[in-house]
Structure 1
């Protein structure tokens, strides 16, 4: 993809390494409801930062406070070191892409993309050039004269993105912009969105409740729960090394061994998480590796999910495990494990990750 060229009227983003957004001790109350509770976040310039959590966890409220649509009850919000806590949305160098895209139905696509430039008084010739480049970047130059109603959901999403990016904000806020798309298109748009972010180098702050989406897109992820952040880290860090039981359960599927179960199986009293893809099912007579935990059990249920199959196994000790196996067998081969089969459930001891107590 071609990058949008810089001009005097479209300032370049700040260099990587600066702090683009600082949320310090922020609290937000709606009457008796505490939506966000004493929150601290630092988002680096140029990174793709996702705020992930279930509905009602506070992530969208934080995004709206960064945008200026809500004012914190307490605390401070800084954009590139400038306190904007009480600044109006139009006084902040940010742009927002909403889930419904908010395109003007009476304007053409080119006019929609040019809207912000028109408001800023950018000369017509410069507007046309920048709009052409923005549409080319999102690979939609051929729809410039159409109306939003003539575009698909994925195309409208890209137009909303082009309209936001053409102003070269220092921070782009995205409020579940892929939520209205079907699964196949959403997955395609994830790659395009990440490619565009890398191409333009602007800080993206992305809100989602989709765990896979956050892991796919992000440089770092903040996992929200009940108005607080449970953990911040790279996708690998939050998935492989969850710091709370909530993070372990919310990010994908896991086998969470409570203290007493971990003591019986692993010989340690701390809770542990074992991801299903790390759990192998083998013949009970197979030799045991000294580094493995081995538990005899029975297949209770199987779930075929295309690329992989999940097995629910009940061990002889009464603990239930989920094992996930990639479907690498040939299409006409019948799986060798079925419901009711006796198996040996095994995983490497160091694949069980301790989950700190709350």
Structure 2
């Protein structure tokens, strides 16, 4: 799927393919990442997103096609000749080096003057709010602190593009959510292009300026978080990005008189008494609640509806904590949504 935006591209892939023997990992991919944006590549395991990241970094050779960094063809360039740096999931910190030595490593290899190294290391650690940790060893830091040190080590080399391969995957949920906010703030402060690989849909929605949704070596859709969530272009995107109710064309024709596939998100579906008539602008289906899932902030209801349609409705838990849920398993109900809230799936 080509990106035809006029904004200059920090990274551009033109017809890029990657084969491992007879297996096609990436198939003729056209993709543009704009300068200064936080761009996420989202998809399930084996969808090709990490392979694309490794080809941009130069760790994997391209089978066909070309990769451009700020307009320069780097398809056959070695990793150290590309103006990019990579942060890995395991952070890859040297356990025998202090934090300051870890951060300084790239500058030391480049034979940067020692006075400049000290200054830039101090600045990098202060930017990460870890100026007090320079003399410590990696095992003396928390997971979130090690993640920030890995970022500092990558950013101190002043790459034009930073590649991040699921860097938050090893953190627990609470720390991961905290680091998502910090990572976005860091990206805005340094102002460089971040390309982020993740399989976590919520993480991609939280962090990204734009998202590319990968499936079986291809990009199914590129867009802002709102665009890919609210207006999925394929059934895969609708199902993979969050929870969605997919209505097939034959059933859509019965319900609203249009023979096209639609999707409606659970948070836009409400549950009403079975005998309540829907308004003129609404679509509804009669059914029976087969399951309730309590998630804390919300309760998710699974309704087995007419015509074989299973509908998931989500209700925010805004009632008093001691009150029981208004609906129970086995209740006969009507699921209702505004017809305009159902998005067409091309």
TM-score over 0.5 for the pair: yes
Of 190-199 and 132-141, deviating more is: 132-141
Q: How does 1:286-301 map to 2 (within 5 A)?
A: 286=276, 288-301=278-291
Q: 1:184 offset after TM fit, Å? A: 1.1
Correspondent of 2:185 among 195, 208, 212:
195
CA distance in structure 1 between the partners assigned to 2:285 and 2:61 by the alignment: 54
**8 A contact 2:41–2:195 mirrored in 1:** yes
TM-score by length of 1: 0.93
Counterpart of 2:126? 136
Q: Would you say 1:321 and 2:297 are equivalent positions?
A: no
**8 A contact 2:251–2:307 mirrored in 1:** no
Q: Would you say 1:162 and 2:152 are equivalent positions?
A: yes
Q: What is the aligned-residue RMSD (CA, Å)?
A: 1.2
SS at match of 1:262: helix
TM-score by length of 2: 0.96
Correspondent of 2:209 among 219, 224, 229:
219
Q: Would you say 1:43 and 2:38 are equivalent positions?
A: no
Counterpart of 2:169? 179
Superposed structure 1 runs of 4+ greater than 6 Å apart: none
Counterpart of 2:245? 255
Correspondent of 1:210 among 193, 196, 200:
200
Q: 1:287 offset after TM fit, Å? A: 5.2
CA distance in structure 2 between the partners assigned to 1:266 and 1:162 by the alignment: 54
Counterpart of 1:84? 74
1:121-140 residue CA offsets vs partner (Å, 9 max, x unmatched): 22222211211111111111
Correspondent of 2:264 among 262, 268, 274:
274
Q: 1:343 offset after TM fit, Å? A: 1.7
SS at match of 1:261: helix
1:23-74 residue CA offsets vs partner (Å, 9 max, x unmatched): 0001111111111110011100000000011111111111001001111011
1:241-298 residue CA offsets vs partner (Å, 9 max, x unmatched): 1111111111011000111111111211111101101100122344532111122222
SS at match of 2:229: helix
Of 324-333 and 84-93, deviating more is: 324-333
Counterpart of 1:126? 116
